[in-house]
Amino acid sequence: MKKSFTLIELIVVIVVLGILSTITFDILSRVYQNYIYTREMNKLNAKVDAAIEMISARLRDRVRNSVIVTKYPAKFSDTDPSLVDFKAIADLEDNDTDYKILEWVNKDYEAKNGIWFQEYGHIQTGWSGFIDLGYNSHKTADDPKEFNVTTLDSNFTIVKMIDENITLADNGVYQDVFESNITTLIFSGNDLGGDIVEDLNSSYGWYLDESRGRYAKAVFAIQGYHNYRGPNNTPKVDLNITSITENNDTTLYSRYFLVRSAYALVPIENNETLADGSPVNDYNLTFVYNYQPWNKKWYKDGNKTLLVNHVTEIRFKKDLDTPIIRLYICIQAPNVIIDRETNRTLNICKEKAIF
């Protein structure tokens, strides 16, 4: 009767156990690796979704014809805005890969939403966007760049109060938003996308430099206002407005927007390094606000907040003959390597059409 293993049998058992343990370890390693990839992919999905939704929410209130793309600062002077190269987003070509910054003038939606007004017993909007062309709305005889207009269902005391509180919160300094031309008026134009006077360079004050043909002809300073109640107790405001830079050709439209700030999406090179000391090679996408191009301000003068980090690519495109902007953004998890030979990292890209 056999009572013990032979040496050969023990060797065979050890070899079999070694093979099984190797297979088991490889399976467990792959399961753990897949768990890591899935976890990081979920994080990347959440990050890019949050960034796109935030950008979309801001872009929905844009003055459509004001949107420009600007070359990334590494390509030109970082200190002199007169040297900045920009163009309308509609003129962006597929090979214009240097234009990584998106800028636009935003409607003053906070003041438009208004507040509860005890005197009226309901929420009163700050500005309605409508002009009564049949009542006291005209160019003045003394100054062809000046208008007197009447806007319906509005209250500019509310506009002033809301915008001055926002400006105080942003800057820590009180400013009269009308006297300092922070809150200004833009006519809607024929397509309700914002008035274009001659061309984009002459309209909103982007990188204002009159020697280069850059003006703010489509932006109007609010010189004075008078709130009152019209027929049927409708809130009305008489406005006196004047083009910020010389303009004798602006048409009086029945619609307008109030604007208080331009916004920008600015990618900033990431200086982080990986564990082996190699560079990350991506961007931190920064959201910039609270700057007024018509006041000779550019995005370097605005308030900045980090929107999302580790962006590897960002592209913009305007669909022809539509107001739709397509946003394409890629982000990576730089410490999750999925191909050691090429050092390729876990990366996710998403695109969204913004109306």
The string of pLDDT tens digits covering residues 177-186 is 999 999 999 9
State yes or no: pLDDT of 169 exceeds 80.
Answer: yes
Together in a domain, 255 and 131: yes
111 shares a domain with 215: yes
On whether residue 29 sits in a domain, the answer given is no
Of 79 and 207, more confident:
207
Reference 197, options 183, 216, 220, 212; nearest CA is 216
Q: 116 and 234 share a domain?
A: yes
Tokens linked to 35: 């768990």
pLDDT band of 28, cuts 50, 70, 90: low
- Residues 120 and 244 occupy one common structural domain: yes
Do 171 and 247 fall into the same domain?
yes
Residue 21 in this model has a pLDDT that exceeds 90: no
Q: Is residue 70 domain-resident?
A: no
Residues 317, 249 share a domain: no
Number of compact structural domains in the chain: 2
SS3 140: coil
Alpha carbon distance, N-terminus to C-terminus of the chain = 87
Pair 254, 270 in one domain: no
Q: Answer yes or no: is 7 within a domain.
A: no
Supply the range of the domain harboring residue 312. 43-64+264-354
Contact assessment for residue 291 and residue 301, using Cβ atoms and an 8 Å cutoff: yes
Distance CA 103, CA 66 (A): 8
Q: Indicate if 211 and 308 belong to the same structural domain.
A: no
> Bridge partners of 264?
103, 288
Best CA proximity match to 185, nearest among 253, 236, 124, 87: 253
Question: pLDDT tens across 259-276, in order?
Answer: 999 999 999 988 887 767
Q: Is residue 253 part of a domain?
A: yes
Lowest mean pLDDT among 11-25, 129-143, 245-259: 11-25
Same domain membership, residue 109 and residue 170: yes
Amino acid making up residue 190: N
The model's confidence at residue 3, banded by pLDDT at 50, 70 and 90, is low
Q: Do the domain assignments include residue 17?
A: no
pTM (2 d.p.): 0.88
Among 206, 241, 261, which residue terminates a domain?
Answer: 261
Residue of 352, 333, 151 lying closest to 258 (CA atoms): 151
Whether 120 and 232 share a structural domain: yes
Which pLDDT value is given to residue 217? 93
Whether the CB-CB separation of 126 and 185 falls below 8 Å is answered with: no
For residue 56, being part of any structural domain is answered with yes
What's the pLDDT band for 25 if we cut at 50, 70, 90?
A: low
Q: What is the pLDDT of residue 249?
A: 74
Regarding whether 210 and 179 lie in a shared domain, the answer is yes
- Rounded to an integer, the average pLDDT of 301-320 is 92
Of 221, 230, 245, 50, the C-alpha closest to 147 is 221
Cα-based distances in Å from 285 to 46, 55, 59, 175, 288 = 15, 11, 16, 30, 10
pLDDT at 203 over 90: yes
| Same domain, residue pair 149 and 243 | yes
Task: Quick: pLDDT tens for 110-124.
Answer: 999 999 877 767 888
* CA atoms of 314 and 332, how far apart (whole Å): 12
Q: What is the mean pLDDT of residues 242-259?
A: 88
Is 290:320 a contact under the CB 8 Å cutoff?
no
